[in-house]
Amino acid sequence: MKQIFLTAIVVLATVILAACSGKTNQTDKDMTKLTFNERQAAAMAVIACNEARGDQSSLAGAIHEGFEAGLTANQMKEALSQLYAYTGFPRSLNALGTLQKVMEQRGDVEIGPESAPMPAGYDALKQGTEVQTKLSGQPFNYDFCPAEDYYLKAHLFGDIFARDLLTYADRELVTVSALSGLEGVMSQLRAHVRGALNMGVSEEQLTAIPEALKAAGLEVAALRCQAAIAAVNGQQPVVSPSSFPLGEPNDAYAQYFIGQSYLAVLDSVSGLSNVTFEPCCRNNWHIHHKAVQVLTCVSGRGWYQEWGKEPVELKPGTVVTVPAGTKHWHGAASDSWMQHLAYFTAQQPGFRNEWLEPVDDEQYNALSR
């Protein structure tokens, strides 16, 4: 009886000490539920996306909004620490530095509880394997690189995801939001959209992420996130291959193109536009009478050619000035999307475009050999 009494006292003391020290109790939290309210979830999405983009000024504003929404310093600290596994230590450390500055400026922040310590004998590899299997919806083994497989299981999903200040659902919201801010990781973004659903994030909570990003002015990231969600839902969306907006299908000029192109007007006054070409897409031979056109490739790879001259390869940073009255064409390579900015200068009265014959397949295909 004495032993039972002493055991009860020890347990009670442990609970009280944990409460006083701000520790959470891992067994008390459903790790497959989102713990943020609507405003907090939106704030966390914008924080994570700006961390990934490395935009410290916008991140500071998002952190201020996070505090106003009721997020704690430790919740944001936990999210930004987790993201080193997805965006790298430099971005994570820079973001934590920004958080620290905002906290110093405000002086009225709620620190909040910390994660509970792992129990004695905790097996990170075993736990991480279980978490990764749940997130993926099936066992996942990266046999091509066993070391990476171990890091994913034991460290990311074992050590990091096991910290109970944020639930699995919380962490997947953070991850989806961050990956939406990065170029070239669409396959991972789609995987984590599926993972978010597997970890308890509802469809409504998931679709609120791009809405929050768009409201914060992160339109490209929002479109990327929407495309990933649509793909997971069995749709086939098209998303911009870069940070420049995709725009709308270029239907008004479709008759002068082979393949699909998209047009995004960036400045209606100057006429500056971003034109996106899918692989193999190119426009017909054409002439701009009484105006000079300037093309600047910003993404992918493609071609520009003037009549009677050798083609010029378009790569990011390539600038082409098309003299007035010059017959020419431009478009994407056969194996790559291509985007270029376009605008006209030195326009004279009587400016017009003259559209001519298509670039034949034999001539075009020779460029890709």
pLDDT of residue 96: 98
Q: Which amino acid is at 73?
A: A
What torsion, rounded to 10 degrees, do the Cα atoms 217, 220, 225, 229 define? Answer: 120
Is the Cβ–Cβ distance between 87 and 178 less than 8 Å?
Answer: yes
- In the CATH hierarchy, which top-level class contains the domain 29-116+164-232? mainly alpha
CA angle 93, 96, 101 (to 5 degrees): 130
Average pLDDT for residues 300-306, to the nearest whole number?
A: 96
Condensed to tens digits (0 to 9), the pLDDT of residues 223-239 reads 889 989 999 999 877 87
- What does the alpha-carbon distance between residue 303 and residue 279 come to, in Å, rounded to a whole number? 11
- What does the alpha-carbon distance between residue 169 and residue 166 come to, in Å, rounded to a whole number? 8
Is the pLDDT reported for residue 9 higher than 50?
no
- CATH 1.20.1290.10 domain range(s) in the chain: 29-116+164-232
Distances (CA, A) of 66 to 36, 45, 114, 363: 11, 10, 17, 56
Is the Cβ–Cβ distance between 75 and 112 less than 8 Å?
Answer: yes
pLDDT of residue 19: 36
pTM of the predicted protein model: 0.74
Measured from the Cβ of residue 204, the count of other Cβ atoms closer than 10 Å reads: 8
Identify the DSSP state of 162.
T
- CATH 2.60.120.10 domain range(s) in the chain: 248-367
The CATH code for residues 248-367 is 2.60.120.10
Condensed to tens digits (0 to 9), the pLDDT of residues 347-361 reads 999 999 999 999 989
- What does the alpha-carbon distance between residue 179 and residue 202 come to, in Å, rounded to a whole number? 19
